[in-house]
Every structure is written in structure tokens, then in C-alpha cells.
Amino acid sequence: MTSMNQQWRLVRRPQGTIQPGDFTWHEIPVRPLEEGEVLVRQLYLSLDPTNRVWAATDSYLPAVAVGDVMRGVGVGRVEDSRHPGFRTGELVQGLLGWQRFEISSGRGLTRVPSLPGVEPAMFLHVLGHIGLTAWAGVLQVGRLQSGETMVVTAAAGAVGSIAGQIGKIRGGRVIGVAGSDEKCDWLTRDLGFDGAINYKTQPVRARLQALCPDGIDVQFENVGGALLDAALAHLKIGGRVALCGLIAGYAAATAPPGIANLHYLVSRRARIEGFLVSDFASRAREAYGELHGWLTEGRLKVRFTIVDGLGEAPAALNRLFDGSHDGKLLVRID
Amino acid sequence: MTSMNQQWRLVRRPQGTIQPGDFTWHEIPVRPLEEGEVLVRQLYLSLDPTNRVWAATDSYLPAVAVGDVMRGVGVGRVEDSRHPGFRTGELVQGLLGWQRFEISSGRGLTRVPSLPGVEPAMFLHVLGHIGLTAWAGVLQVGRLQSGETMVVTAAAGAVGSIAGQIGKIRGGRVIGVAGSDEKCDWLTRDLGFDGAINYKTQPVRARLQALCPDGIDVQFENVGGALLDAALAHLKIGGRVALCGLIAGYAAATAPPGIANLHYLVSRRARIEGFLVSDFASRAREAYGELHGWLTEGRLKVRFTIVDGLGEAPAALNRLFDGSHDGKLLVRID
């Protein structure tokens, strides 16, 4: 029995928001496995801001080649295996791509544990790259200490919402910056943030001053642009900016204005440090142990926005940049 | 016998370059010392880019109050003392201000050692705040390792020229960025830099690519603006920007464009860290020991631009920003 694969291939580097003609849809039969290969049926595809960078330009990874299947992280089930390390029916996670089926050599493919009450999508959220990113940014890069003040931008997003909750668990005061009153309410009422700023309707610098009168110890930065400039002006001496991403610039048709306030790094003896989740693979077991513990204790709350159907992936990617999603954005494939 | 003091007082916050009306000249008698005070006759006044910031705005220090004597670091000789810690004739260094005589409580005043063959101006250069800034930036903030590549901007300036030479002594490859061919020749021929870039006549990014084909490990940044953006695009994974200053913006009448290339900090897992020399007071003995050793061995070369007469101080400060000086800029008062 031959299954049909469905794929989105990148055919044009996007400019600004994703356009219908940037990807093309292909349906091709799944070829037979060779020795050492494993066939994965993808269940959920993760949509992350960094995908937009992968489509556009070389970065920490080479850009997706024009004509190739679009790169993406997903969770799936082993459908068939001629690889000694994987058995049919196992749940796996990795760079499965924007497609229904992936044939893998096993490299980069990770078995995920079967945990009672944990559904597969969670391995693309707090028990996957999202959780590890937040854990590393708050604790390893930002080095938040109990009693310190942390500000998180894109705080209602997947990484931001987990980062803020980790900050609370570790004894920090946490302020979130988000793009709607509903998101701000979620942060303060449901997630226990100490305060929230709606950057679309409130003056960010004045609100930072009011909510962080002694300044910011750790800025968990996902956005850049004017929000980062405001935070720099408000850093404490010895402050740390954990630079996770700069989504303000990822999907902009024209480059946003540059950062004007770097001079505060000198007067405040502060630093900006970029990081990638892939550098923390050696800490993953420790991080997932903590994250799973907090999750089962009910101390970490998660939100998903789930889009149905692989066909929706290109249009859905834009939702990461217009704010029309909550928490983790996923595509459910089956 | 009453001596006359001469002073420059700040009367207007400068906009752009220093104008004649920003300071006024005062001549007043030196009042008698009270118990616990020391009278210092200033020999040399240091002019540093940070002075321009002090005159304009609050930073790591409060702005100089309008009406006050302009703040500055100098070296002088104790003329008279009613302080148990200082004796007439001793050489001292501290915030003596833009004036001939300073009456001090002794706080912030440091006795400098009498070293054979070392003339007083050297305590405003490699054996003073300049040398300690360079030492801390290269070794403590940049953490340059033997075999690594360091780029220094404003490399023919006081701090930059010492930073680059420390980099060479510690086994680094060092590239300097300066504003004239003569300065570049000095860096490569006399100071042993491995390469130099004249940013006024050469394409900086292409030259960085040619001179640092494997990228930059440490950027010793004094300038900011387009030079910093070029360096960010060229950082190695794990690169460090030791942010000493951002002189591109200090005397500009309008703010320069912001920094556009911060996203490289993420893809290169790199950092920008600001620092102030005052935070390294506890390391000063160790640093000056090394610096004095290298100086006496002939491994550190220094240049001064000395302007005669306290009256010239305001106009001379502008020379830090137009490139019309070499090495350390000082005003000789007597």
C-alpha cells in the first residue's frame, strides 16, 4: 500500500508577509524505505517566528533552498521503520518539515517519552523547544535571581508565557508586554504575572517606569525595535538582556528603525546576549525534568492556537506577526 | 600669599560641538585650607570623550550642574595640605576639574607612585584610567584568548591604541579601525597591529571580511554607528563586544541611525557588554603592575597630543570627535 505525501515547497523568498505564491503544494507517493530509514507520520507541525527567517535568509541555519520542502519542527508517530533505533508506533519529534510524511535517517529525530496525561502537542510546547528556550533564556542566559525583576516581550506568545511563569516560579517579579488587553488579562489573572503592558494602547516607557520603579534586572526579549529601546533605558546596573528573537524585523517589508539606546549598556554595565535553544541540548534532560514537574503540579499553564490542515500552514505563519494567535501556534495535520 | 585660581564653568548644555558660550572663564582667589583639606595644583588635565557626555546629560554620573566647574580627571602636585594622608610635593590624580587649583577633602584623590623615568602625564594614559580601561575591556570583558581575533575601533585613540597592544601581547590577532592613512600606518608599523582599516576611505565590511576571514572573536568598541553594525555582521559564534563607548553619538547634533544588526547576536550566540573603568578599581593594582611592566619593557608605545594652556580646554575637547588628535589628548596647565 502506497501512501501519498503532501508537501509545501518554498518557491520564492518571502518579502514582508507570506504571500500565496511563496510556496507550492505537492502530492507525491511515499517511496519505500531503505535500510536504516524511518517513516514518520506527522501529527502536529509547529509554527515558530524563526521559520520566517529560515525561508528568507541564511542565519544560524542555511536558508531553506528554493524548491525544497519548507523546514519545520513537528511531532509524529513512526509509521514504519527499518532503523534499529525506532519502532513502529513510537512518538518522535524533529525537523519533520511542512509535509505529512517524513523519511528520516534518524539523525535529528528524537523519541519522546510516553507520559500519562500528556498529549503529543505538548512536545512542541513546554516539553519541547519552546520550554527549553524559555528555561535557558531565563535561567542560563538571563540568570534571574529570586527577588529580581524580569520583563518579557511577546509575553502571551508560547516562549514568552513560559518564560514569565518560570520567572515567577523562581521568585522573580515578572512584567509582560503584549498586544491586547485580553492577552494582558491572561498574563496577570491566569499566569500570575505581576503586571502587564499593552504596547498597542499604553506608553511603554512610562508603564515600565511605573511597574519597575527600581529598573529591570532581566529583559527576556522576543521583539526588538521600540520595545527593546524602552527596556534598555530602564535596565538596572548589571542588567541582562536575554536576546531570544527580534520578531519586529522578521516579517517587516522594510527594516524597522535601528536600536538607539545601546549607550545605556555602558552606563548600566549591562549586556545583551543572544542564544539559541540548540546550544542547550546538553541541559535538556534537566530542563524537561523541571518543566514536566511544574506542569504536573499545575504551576505552568499553556495555551494553544491550533489550525487544522497542513494546507493552512503558509497563511497561518503570518499570524505569528500580526498577533492574531494565543500561546503556541500549531498545525494539526491529521 | 594668595594664589589665583582659574576655572572653566559650564553655563549651557552643549548641543553638537562645543561652542564658545557653553563655558565661562573665572578667576578667583584660592581660599585658605580648612582642617582635613588638601590643595592640588593641576599639571595636566585629561580630555576624554566621556567629558562631552558629562556636560550634556545624566549618565553613569549626574550631569555637571550648570554653573559648576566642568568635571575632568587630572594629575597634579600637592601644593599645601591640612590632610593627614597627603604631603606637600606629592603627585596625585583624581577629578581635579577644569581649573588650575582644586581644594579636595581627599576623597577620590589618589597618590600616584614616583616611578623612575615615568613622567606625570603617563598617569593620565597607560598608568591611569586609559590603561585600566583598555586592560579591563580586552581581558575582563572581552576575555580575549591567545589566537583569537580582536577588532578595535578608534584604534589610534588613547584607549584603542593600548587595547590593541594588549591584544598583541596576549597573543591575539589585532585589526584596528581608524580615520586616516597616517593613523593606520602607525598602528601596523609602530604598534604591531596585524591590519588596519581607514573607515573614511575604505569599505569597512569588505575590509573586515578580508582581514578577518574567520570572523571576529572580540570587538573592542569605542565608536558605535556603522562601524558597530559592520562588526556585528562579522562576529564569530560566541563573539564578545566589549562596549567601551559610542563616540559616534556623543557630539552629534542629531542622533545617528540606530544599530540594525543586533539579530546577529542571536545567530552567533554573541553578546554586547558595556563596562566602566570605575568598576575595576579592585583590579587596578594588578592591572597597573602588568601595564607598567609592559611599558618599561618597551612593549607598549604611547602617543600624546598636548594642548598648552587651560584656556584651550573647551575648543580642544572637540578634537576628540573630529579626529584631529593622536593618542591621548591632554591640556598642560603650567
A293 burial class (0-12, 13-18, 19+ CB within 10 angstroms)?
A: exposed
Using CA atoms, how far residue A294 sits from A282, A302, A326, B333, in Å, is 20, 12, 21, 67
Query: For B150-158, what is the mean pLDDT?
Result: 97
> If residue B42 lies in a helix (H) or strand (E), which one and from where to where?
strand B38-46
Mutation site for B-interface testing, chosen from A59, A61, A263 by largest number of B Cβ within 10 Å? A263
What secondary structure letter does DSSP report for B23? E
What pLDDT does B47 receive?
A: 97
Which residues 238-257 of B have a C-beta within 8 angstroms of A? 243-246, 249, 255, 257
Q: Return the minimum-mean-pLDDT range out of A102-106, A143-147, B113-117, B291-295.
A: B113-117
What secondary structure letter does DSSP report for B181? H
Statement: residue A334 has pLDDT above 80: no
What's the gap between Cα A227 and its chain centre? 19
What secondary structure letter does DSSP report for B251? S
CB contact under 8 A, A274 and B265: yes
Contact criterion met (CB below 8 Å) for B129 and B58: no
Span A181-240, pLDDT tens digits:
999 999 999 999 999 999 999 999 999 999 999 999 999 999 999 999 999 999 999 999
What pLDDT does A142 receive?
A: 98
A303 touches chain B (CB under 8 A): no
CB contact under 8 A, A276 and B259: no
A258 touches chain B (CB under 8 A): yes
Q: How many CB atoms within 10 Å of residue A312? A: 14
What pLDDT does A1 receive?
A: 59
CB contact under 8 A, B266 and A276: yes
Query: For B147-163, what is the mean pLDDT?
Result: 97
CB contact under 8 A, B259 and A262: yes
Using CA atoms, how far residue A43 sits from A129, A169, A200, in Å, is 16, 31, 35
Contact criterion met (CB below 8 Å) for A149 and A167: no
Judging contacts by C-beta atoms under 8 Å, the chain B residues touching residue A248 are none
Searching chain B, which residue's CA lies closest to the CA of residue A54? Answer: B267
Q: Which residues pair with B51 in a beta bridge?
A: none
What pLDDT does B1 receive?
A: 59
What pLDDT does B257 receive?
A: 86
Residue B254 pLDDT class (50, 70, 90 cuts)? confident
How many Å apart are CA B64 and CA B53, to the nearest integer?
9
What pLDDT does A243 receive?
A: 98
Q: Which residues pair with B329 in a beta bridge?
A: B305
Span B97-120, pLDDT tens digits:
999 999 999 999 999 988 888 999
What pLDDT does B253 receive?
A: 76
CB contact under 8 A, B272 and A262: yes
What's the gap between Cα B327 and its chain centre? 9
Mean pLDDT of chain B: 96
What secondary structure letter does DSSP report for B148? -
AA letter at B124 = L
Q: How many CA atoms lie within 13 A of B34 on its CB side?
A: 3
A325 closest CA partner among A307, A306, A305: A305
What secondary structure letter does DSSP report for B322? H
Statement: residue B252 has pLDDT above 90: no
What secondary structure letter does DSSP report for B12? S
* SS3 letters across chain A: CCCEEEEEEECCCCCCCCCHHHEEEEEEECCCCCCCCEEEEEEEEECCHHHHHHHHCCCCCCCCCCCCECCCCEEEEEEEECCCCCCCCCEEEECCCCECEEEECCCCCEECCCCCCCCHHHHHCCCCHHHHHHHHHHHHHCCCCCCCEEEEECCCEHHHHHHHHHHHHCCCEEEEEECCHHHHHHHHHHCCCCEEEECCCCCHHHHHHHHCCCCEEEEEECCCHHHHHHHHCCEEEEEEEEECCCHHHCCCCCCCCCECCCHHHHHCCCEEEECCHHHHHHHHHHHHHHHHHHHHCCCCCCCEEEEECHHHHHHHHCHHHHCCCCEEEEEECC
Span B1-53, pLDDT tens digits:
579 999 999 999 999 999 989 999 999 999 999 999 999 999 999 999 999 99
Rg of chain B over all Cα atoms, to the nearest angstrom: 20
Using CA atoms, how far residue A238 sits from A149, A214, A264, B253, B269, in Å, is 12, 13, 11, 30, 19
For the record, the C-alpha cell of A155 comes out as: 509575553
Span A238-269, pLDDT tens digits:
999 999 999 988 888 788 889 999 999 999 99
Q: Which residues pair with A152 in a beta bridge?
A: A176, A220
How many Å apart are CA A131 and CA A162, to the nearest integer?
7
CB contact under 8 A, B270 and A274: yes
CB contact under 8 A, A269 and B258: no
Torsion on CA atoms B7, B13, B19, B21, rounded to nearest 10: -60
Contact criterion met (CB below 8 Å) for A268 and B274: yes
Span A22-58, pLDDT tens digits:
999 999 999 999 999 999 999 999 999 999 999 999 9
Judging contacts by C-beta atoms under 8 Å, the chain B residues touching residue A268 are 60, 274
Query: For A58-83, what is the mean pLDDT?
Result: 97
How many Å apart are CA B75 and CA B92, to the nearest integer?
6
CB contact under 8 A, B243 and A266: yes
Contact criterion met (CB below 8 Å) for B55 and B11: no
Check: complex ipTM more than 0.85: yes
Span A293-307, pLDDT tens digits:
999 999 999 999 999
Q: Return the minimum-mean-pLDDT range out of A221-230, A317-326, B194-203.
A: A317-326
Contact criterion met (CB below 8 Å) for B38 and B81: yes
What pLDDT does B54 receive?
A: 96
A281 touches chain B (CB under 8 A): no
What pLDDT does A326 receive?
A: 87
